[in-house]
Amino acid sequence: MKPTETGTLPTSFPWYALQVRSRFEPCVADYLAGKGYEWFLPTYTSRKQWSDRIKEVESPLFPGYLFCRLDIQNRLPILKTPGVIQIVGCNKQPVALDESEITAIQALVASGIPNQPWPFGEIGDQVQIESGPLRGLHGILVESRGNQRLVLSVTLLQRSVAVEIDAAVVAVMRRSRVSSSRQSESRASLVTA
C-alpha cells in the first residue's frame, strides 16, 4: 500500500467473501498470501471415519468460501486467482462483510473452543457473552441435544457457526420474534382460561 498525502497508510480495506472451488480454500489462501493480501480461512477439527480408521482433520468452517481484505476497485487480480469463482455480492455487485461478524469469527477461532458449522437461522434470542475468552461477542442462543450453543453468523453467506457455551455466561440482548410471539400466546391463554 502506498502512503496517503498525510504520510500515513490508508485505512484497511473491508472484508469480502470469496467463493472458491470445493476443496481449493487452502490453495487460494496460499496464493493470496503470496500476493500480499490479508485473508482469513477459519477451520474446525472434525473426525472422519474410514473403513479402517478414524482420523481428525481440519476442514473449512465455511466450505467453498474464504475471506479477504481488498480494494474492490482493483478486484481483477483476485478474480484471476486460480480457484476463485467470484466475490460474493448481490446483483453481480460485490458486497463488503460486516466487520463485527468477521471479528467475532476470528475471536472464536483464536479462543480454541471446539466449534462446528451450523445451519443459518434467526430463531432464538440474541445474546452477548459476559465472561470468558469470547466475552463481548454477540450471537443467537440455541439448544442442541441438551447443550446451549452460541451461533455466530455471516449474514451475506447465510452460513453460521456454533460453539458450545455455558448459558450462565450470556445476557439476553434482544428476544426473537418467535420467543416474543410464544410469550404473547401464553399470556393470551392465561387471560382466556
Looking at residue 174, its pLDDT comes to: 74
Span 59-97, pLDDT tens digits: 999 999 999 999 999 999 999 999 999 999 999 899 999
pTM: 0.71
Contacts of 19 (CB under 8 A, 6+ apart): 64, 65, 84, 85, 86, 87, 88
The set of cell numbers assigned to 89 is 455480492
Domains of the chain: 1-97 (3.30.70.940), 98-193 (2.30.30)
Span 172-187, pLDDT tens digits: 777 766 544 444 343 3
Looking at residue 2, its pLDDT comes to: 39
How many other C-beta atoms lie within 10 A of the C-beta of residue 44?
Answer: 17
Backbone angles phi, psi at 170, to 5 degrees: -115, 150
% of the chain residues with pLDDT over 90 = 46
Task: Output the CA–CA distances (angstroms, integers) from residue 139 to 37, 134, 149, 162, 170, in the order listed.
Answer: 28, 11, 9, 9, 10
- Is the pLDDT score of 190 beyond 50? no
